[in-house]
């Protein structure tokens, strides 16, 4: 192995983070302050998620990192390599094979199991931040359960756009108590948050950790006459033909041609491996990169 | 008949200086009470103590809850008090900016109190907001404009609509017409007087403008250096002032 302590952070720090995680799990949706450390990466690149992962990983774990659903983007590759180097844990791109999955802004398409942990990177944990700038006031609003303001934002959306235009970081109410920011996942993923796996949220710059225990009730806020809708592009994946996955729109050339592909690369690849082909896809070949 | 609000021995000190001392009065349902006095006389301190923004050193502010029970709002828990202040109470600030969300549309501003008490039907919230904008003479087409696009008088009327939408029983007003020109003031006063009569509101109005209390208030309380120096029916106090300071105050008004 290397000269790093297991998973980079020292044992005291990991213990401190674990205490915050346990408190978060005991009070679902509540933002627990923690002493966030400097990490060897800039704020906004997932320092919160990395610290939570470091405190969660054991030598027996298999680790997967996704960035907007993809395993092969800069952020995902660097964080995966970081833990390969500092923890020496096994890594994978397969969602079902991983025991800890760190994610930036997506939930994998495959349903998670009870023995899996999903770690979110969170830029701004406070759902009320842009409505009420004072942290003192927002914490009071959380403690007194005064969430009328959250609906003012949705009201403004409808007044301006004719529908709830918030499409990511869509606010949810957890177990009928705390209103929580689900991190900037698309609202398509919101219904998946009632899952079997444990979900941990780490915000490094904002020094907050919060969590959802398994099978926790998570309700997306809405109006009676404008109910919540988990929307996605009205299209099938052009690579694997899936109609049930969240899609990225990719501009192909200057003529405005575009294709829609699964944002979850592992889901797409495994479907192609199983023989599914989309409108612009080619059959899967073993030698393909 | 029991009073809606019973104020007993309210005192507030800032260090050694007196904010207000030993203030007592009863306010009955449907009654409008004016508090007048010069700057620094403690009238705003008193109003903030009554509305729960400041905690008085001594005394009780007993309010008749909807179930008829008299509760001391000074010692009641914060969630209860905040609940009161978005249902049964309303507070109209001197500067509309303090009472409005400037980056939220007029409709959202009016709807906020409704949503805060659990309204979750967009159509109904919007209809109610439009109705209230109409009552304060703001046209329906301005419902999606932000308060920053409104004139000072409109902002003040919007603030009043935002406060009255949940049908409060007691309204606190801190210089509601301050900073407005006289013709706008006159219309706002006319509007307020109409709403107070129509909804049977009780109100406490703090002002230094005697014309405002002459028009709106049934009873008057005159404050000087943190103490109440004279109380009585408005016309009685203004037409036949007894205390030297009240005489000075009344005679200071310019006769045009």
| pLDDT classification of B49: cutoffs 50, 70, 90 | very high
Contacts of A155 in chain B (CB under 8 A): 107-108, 111, 115, 122, 125-126
Inter-chain touch B101–A152, beta carbons under 8 Å? yes
Q: Is the pLDDT reported for residue B197 higher than 70?
A: yes
Candidate from B82, B104, B105 with C-beta closest to A146: B82
Distance CA A49, CA A51 (A): 5
Candidate from A148, A222, A226 with C-beta closest to B115: A148
Mean of pLDDT over chain B = 92
Q: What is the pTM of this model?
A: 0.86
Residue A168 near chain B (CB below 8 Å): no
Are A45 and A74 spatial neighbours (Cβ–Cβ below 8 Å)?
A: no
| pLDDT classification of B256: cutoffs 50, 70, 90 | low
Q: What is the pLDDT of residues A27-75, one digit of tens each?
A: 999 999 999 999 999 998 999 999 999 999 999 999 999 999 999 999 9
Distance CA B147, CA B158 (A): 8
Contacts 24+ apart (CB under 8 A), B124-131: B125/A155, B126/A155, B126/A159, B128/B165, B129/B165
Distance CA B177, CA B167 (A): 21
Chain B residues with CB within 8 Å of chain A CB? 78-79, 82, 86, 101, 104-105, 107-108, 111-113, 115-117, 120-123, 125-126, 143-144
Q: How many CB atoms neighbour CB B92 within 10 A?
A: 22
Contacts of B113 in chain A (CB under 8 A): 148
Selecting among A29, A49, A278, A281, the annotated active-site residue is: A29
Q: Which residue of B has its CA nearest to A142?
A: B79
Mean of pLDDT over chain A = 94
Distance CA B168, CA B117 (A): 12
Selecting among A46, A48, A237, A278, the annotated active-site residue is: A237
Distance CA B105, CA A158 (A): 11
Strands A32-33, A208-212: pairing is antiparallel
């Amino acid at each position: 192995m290397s000269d790093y302590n297991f998973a980079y952070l020292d044992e005291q720090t990991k213990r401190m983070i674990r205490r915050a995680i346990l408190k978060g799990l005991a009070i679902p949706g509540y933002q627990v302050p923690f002493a966030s450390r400097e990490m060897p990466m800039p704020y906004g690149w997932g320092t919160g998620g990395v610290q939570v992962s470091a405190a969660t990983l054991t030598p027996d774990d298999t680790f997967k990192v996704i960035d907007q659903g993809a395993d092969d983007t800069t952020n995902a590759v660097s964080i995966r390599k970081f833990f390969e180097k500092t923890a020496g844990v096994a890594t994978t791109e397969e969602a079902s094979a991983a025991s800890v999955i760190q994610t930036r802004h997506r939930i994998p398409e495959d349903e998670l199991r009870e023995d899996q942990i999903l770690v979110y990177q969170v830029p701004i944990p406070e759902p009320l931040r842009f409505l009420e700038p004072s942290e003192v006031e927002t914490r009071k609003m959380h403690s007194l359960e005064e969430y009328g303001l959250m609906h003012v934002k949705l009201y403004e959306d409808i007044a301006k756009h004719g529908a709830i235009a918030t499409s990511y970081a869509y606010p949810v109410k957890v177990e009928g108590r705390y209103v929580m920011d689900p991190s900037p996942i698309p609202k398509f993923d919101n219904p998946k948050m009632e899952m079997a796996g444990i979900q941990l949220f780490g915000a490094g710059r904002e020094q907050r950790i919060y969590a959802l225990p398994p099978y926790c009730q998570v309700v997306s806020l809405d109006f009676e006459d404008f109910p919540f809708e988990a929307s996605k592009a009205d299209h099938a994946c052009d690579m694997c033909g899936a109609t049930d996955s969240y899609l990225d729109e990719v501009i192909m050339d200057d003529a405005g041609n575009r294709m829609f592909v699964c944002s979850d690369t592992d889901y797409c690849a495994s479907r192609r491996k199983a023989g599914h082909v989309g409108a612009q896809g080619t059959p899967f070949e073993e030698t393909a990169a | 008949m029991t009073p809606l609000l019973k104020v007993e021995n309210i005192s507030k000190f800032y260090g050694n200086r007196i904010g207000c001392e030993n203030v007592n009065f009863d306010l009955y349902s449907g009654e409008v009470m004016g508090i007048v006095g010069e700057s620094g006389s403690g009238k705003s301190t008193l109003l903030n103590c009554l509305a729960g923004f400041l905690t008085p050193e001594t005394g009780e502010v007993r309010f008749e809850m909807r179930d008829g029970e008299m509760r001391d709002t000074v010692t009641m828990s914060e969630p209860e008090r905040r609940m009161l202040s978005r249902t049964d109470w309303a507070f109209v600030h001197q500067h509309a900016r303090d009472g409005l969300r400037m980056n939220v549309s007029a409709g959202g501003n009016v709807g906020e109190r409704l949503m805060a008490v659990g309204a979750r039907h967009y159509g109904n919230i919007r209809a109610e907001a439009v109705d209230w904008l109409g009552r304060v003479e703001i046209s329906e087409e301005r419902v999606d404009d932000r308060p920053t696009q409104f004139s000072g008088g409109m902002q003040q009327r919007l603030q009043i609509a935002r406060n009255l939408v949940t049908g409060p029983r007691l309204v606190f007003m801190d210089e509601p017409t301050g900073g407005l020109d006289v013709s706008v003031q006159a219309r706002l006063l006319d509007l307020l007087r109409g709403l107070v009569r129509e909804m049977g509101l009780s109100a406490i109005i703090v002002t230094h403008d005697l014309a405002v209390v002459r028009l709106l208030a049934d009873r008057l309380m005159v404050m000087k250096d943190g103490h109440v120096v004279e109380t009585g029916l408005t016309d009685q106090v203004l037409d036949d002032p007894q205390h030297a300071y009240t005489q000075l105050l009344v005679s200071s008004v310019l006769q045009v």
